[in-house]
A and B are shown apart, each in its own frame.
Chain A
Amino acid sequence: MSAPTLWRDLRRFTAARVALGRVGNGLPTAAHLDFQEAHAQARDAVWSTLDVPALQAALGAQVVASAAPDRRTYLLRPDLGRRLAEGASFTPRPGCFAIVVADGLCATGVQAQAPALVASLTTGLQRAGWDVAPPVIATQARVAIGDAIGQALGAAMVAVLIGERPGLSALDSMGIYLTHAPRPGRTDAERNCISNIRPGGLSLAEAVAKLLWLVAAARGLGATGVALKDEQPALPLIEDQPGGR
């Protein structure tokens, strides 16, 4: 590919909204309305819900709810999204690796990607000698709900796969939070995060490889979080990301 010479050529290199044009100091009408359309879709995505039966069929998982009874309460009360609803019970499995699949702020990406990621992750963990507990699906859930679930299972570590806040360009992004020795009260500084897992972002294979590296390093260190630096050699870059829009 020849080096670009025109402003609009920049679009070949990024999915970001570059080279939109300029009318006076403002956006041309088409670019302005493209933005409005994307925002409208993202707003609708926040209110999307997880298709729990479909996910359960794919994962064979236990389903639990957070203490947030509905979406609006979930948005205003993150403390409730971190806690389990009354009555949730688990069969303890001391020393296991727990996997939680949570809707978070947008269910779309989790719905699409969690089954394949859980399968690949489970295989990798078992190969590394882990006893992997059956996954748990959590609805109206925040990341820290994994602490309560992990503690109830007696898990050595928990990975929470959770829908990330929808952006204008990505309605389907998932993150993974890894926490060693989970229990309520863990802070975000005690977790490691892998974000932007989606088509066009971090691939499932890259995410699983990175997570398995973090799990091994965390087992050696006996901790996750800022004490565990992600010093994994950088993965080879994918040339020419699908850019333009």
Chain B
Amino acid sequence: MGFSAVVGGTRHIFADLRQLLACATPFRSGDALAGLAAESAAQRVAAQRALADLPLRHFLQEAVVPYEADEVTRLILDSHDAAAFAPVAHLTVGGFRDWLLAADPAAVTALAPGLTPEMVAALSKICRLQDLVAIGAKCRVVTRFRNTLGLPGTLSIRLQPNDPVDDPKGIAAQVLDGLLLGAGDAVIGVNPATDNVENLCRVLGLLDAVRDRYAIPTQSCVLAHVTTTLLAMQRGAPVDLVFQSIGGTQGVNESFGVSLALLAEAHEAALSLKRGTLGDNCMYFETGQGSALSAEAHHGVDQQTLEARAYAVARRFRPLLVNSVVGFIGPEYLFDGKQITRAGLEDHMCGKLLGLPMGVDVCYTNHAEADQDDMDALLTLLGVAGVTYVMGVPGADDTMLAYQSTSFHDGLFVRAALGKSPAPEFAAWLQRMGLAGRTPDRLPMAVAGLL
């Protein structure tokens, strides 16, 4: 089935839904790399007009990746909740945008199980940044493990104490630095330098000991491959959250060495440990536009639509945390600060509409055309959009992954600028430790044995 719209006296024709979505996407280098980007500004706006007129129901009939060939497509269509979809089932994509901008948060939040990734991706393509912010801010997603994340008026921080060789003291010093600067309520999460089960068990033990020693109401995670974490659980390691990078097609997930069945196995294993005290959201996923093209598993679909499809994988497992690592993948997918900014806000809104506790790693690499000014702008916009959490890295410099994310100071800034607090249990802990609103020169905790 084809689509068309007239712009400037020319009728632009789009062969199928994939091409319509791709041509309607605001320009980014990854779609150009894939040969999917609109050929002109006029063709792009024609696609946006045609897309705005498309009934939302159409997305239940035409899959962008074939149902027979892809387990993510099957998950999306087989788990669609028609009752939740009912309030917007009569709308077009354009009508849906208008409805969302006028709706109250409860009505928007209730839609989540009735929305598919392709519907929200289509919506995002006809949104300006302010629409992405306004709609994202209406979604309420609350998750719990040892604290409560996502409450209105809160903004949480993942404390990311990565060390180039997983040195325990190097990690511990960064954890303490983050705690002194109010970070760590989303998770204390280490990206391991080497995906080795012995090493994983050692770092998990360290993080759990720190949390236990200072009675911090938070959770820890070592972001190893899911199969390594399964091995660690078999060895009795203290696994709070199971982490995995995921994507929006079966093929990209295969390139990550995972499947829905493997994720389900890991989810069951983590649930059986019953380590959460306030709730049982025990999965942590990372995503990012461009991963499917990078794995040559994109099926001719634009990178933002595929990113939204990754959220369908995530929500199947009721995660505690999901974040797009928006600027990490590099300039071939998101070239500069402008493209990173838009993608970060798209990812946040799409994830939230689908019911995910969406954070964003506001970040860039040194081969992208971006700098700290771009990060300040995106961080502030995401704060206004109600982002669930952002990263906290000492001085914004991750010495292991060699990229720049948001710093502990950035977390303090955005909370203060927007009147946000940490998760309530963590805020109370900061208060008890004398760390609310200040960082003393003298450490407020004993560190003998740790450092």
Cross-chain contact of A105 among B197, B367, B395 (Cβ < 8 A): B367
In the complex, the chain A residue whose C-beta lies closest to that of B174 is: A16
Residues in B neighbouring A234, C-beta threshold 8 A: 196, 198-199, 202
Residues in A neighbouring B86, C-beta threshold 8 A: none
Main secondary structure of the interface of A (DSSP, over half): loop
CB contacts under 8 Å to A, within B165-182, are 165, 167-170, 172-174, 176-177, 180-181
In the complex, the answer to whether B196 meets A231 with C-beta atoms within 8 Å is yes
In the complex, the answer to whether B395 meets A16 with C-beta atoms within 8 Å is yes
**B interface bracket (residues with beta carbon within 8 Å of A):** 35 or more
Query: Considering residues B170, B202, B402, B441, which has the most beta carbons from chain A within 10 angstroms of its beta carbon?
Result: B402
How distant is the Cα of A25 from the Cα of B371 in the complex, in angstroms?
20
In the complex, the answer to whether B257 meets A226 with C-beta atoms within 8 Å is yes
Q: Does B255 contact A (CB under 8 A)?
A: yes
CB contact under 8 A between A169 and B173, given known A39-B366, A202-B164, A231-B196: no
A-B contact pairs, 8 of them (CB 8 A): A3-B448, A9-B443, A13-B172, A27-B395, A77-B332, A79-B33, A229-B196, A229-B228
For residue B119, give the distance in angstroms from its CB to the closest CB of chain A. Answer: 30
Interface with A: B3-11, B263-271, B408-416, which one? Answer: B408-416
CB contact under 8 A between A201 and B164, given known A16-B394, A26-B413: yes
How distant is the Cα of A26 from the Cα of B398 in the complex, in angstroms?
18
In the complex, the answer to whether A170 meets B443 with C-beta atoms within 8 Å is no
Q: Which B residues fall within an 8 A CB radius of A? A: 29, 33, 161, 163-165, 167-170, 172-174, 176-177, 180-181, 193-199, 202, 225, 227-228, 231, 254-257, 294-295, 330-332, 335, 365-367, 371-372, 393-404, 407, 409, 412-413, 416, 439-443, 446-449, 451
CB contacts under 8 Å to B, within A198-245, are 198, 200-202, 210, 225-226, 229-234, 237-238, 240-241, 243
What total of chain A residues lie within 8 Å of the partner, measured CB to CB? Answer: 69
How distant is the Cα of A240 from the Cα of B165 in the complex, in angstroms?
12
Interface with B: A91-99, A129-137, A186-194, which one? Answer: A186-194
CB contact under 8 A between A200 and B164, given known A35-B395, A230-B196, A231-B196: yes
In the complex, the answer to whether A13 meets B173 with C-beta atoms within 8 Å is yes
In the complex, the answer to whether B440 meets A7 with C-beta atoms within 8 Å is yes
In the complex, the chain A residue whose C-beta lies closest to that of B177 is: A18
If A233-B198, A238-B165 are given as contacts, then 18 extra A-B residue pairs at C-beta distance below 8 Å, sorted by A number, are A4-B447, A4-B451, A14-B163, A14-B170, A15-B170, A25-B416, A39-B372, A42-B366, A78-B294, A167-B399, A168-B397, A188-B255, A189-B254, A195-B194, A196-B400, A229-B227, A232-B196, A237-B168
In the complex, the answer to whether A39 meets B371 with C-beta atoms within 8 Å is yes
In the complex, the answer to whether B416 meets A16 with C-beta atoms within 8 Å is no
How distant is the Cα of A28 from the Cα of B155 in the complex, in angstroms?
24
For residue B401, give the distance in angstroms from its CB to the closest CB of chain A. Answer: 8
Cross-chain contact of B331 among A4, A27, A76, A226 (Cβ < 8 A): A76
Query: Considering residues B169, B294, B404, B447, which has the most beta carbons from chain A within 10 angstroms of its beta carbon?
Result: B169
How distant is the Cα of A170 from the Cα of B365 in the complex, in angstroms?
13
How distant is the Cα of A237 from the Cα of B335 in the complex, in angstroms?
39
Q: Does A59 contact B (CB under 8 A)?
A: no
In the complex, the answer to whether A195 meets B257 with C-beta atoms within 8 Å is no
How distant is the Cα of A16 from the Cα of B174 in the complex, in angstroms?
7
How distant is the Cα of A11 from the Cα of B331 in the complex, in angstroms?
33
For residue A167, give the distance in angstroms from its CB to the closest CB of chain B. Answer: 3
In the complex, the answer to whether A25 meets B366 with C-beta atoms within 8 Å is no
CB contact under 8 A between A231 and B367, given known A35-B397, A165-B402, A169-B399: no
Residues in A neighbouring B180, C-beta threshold 8 A: 7
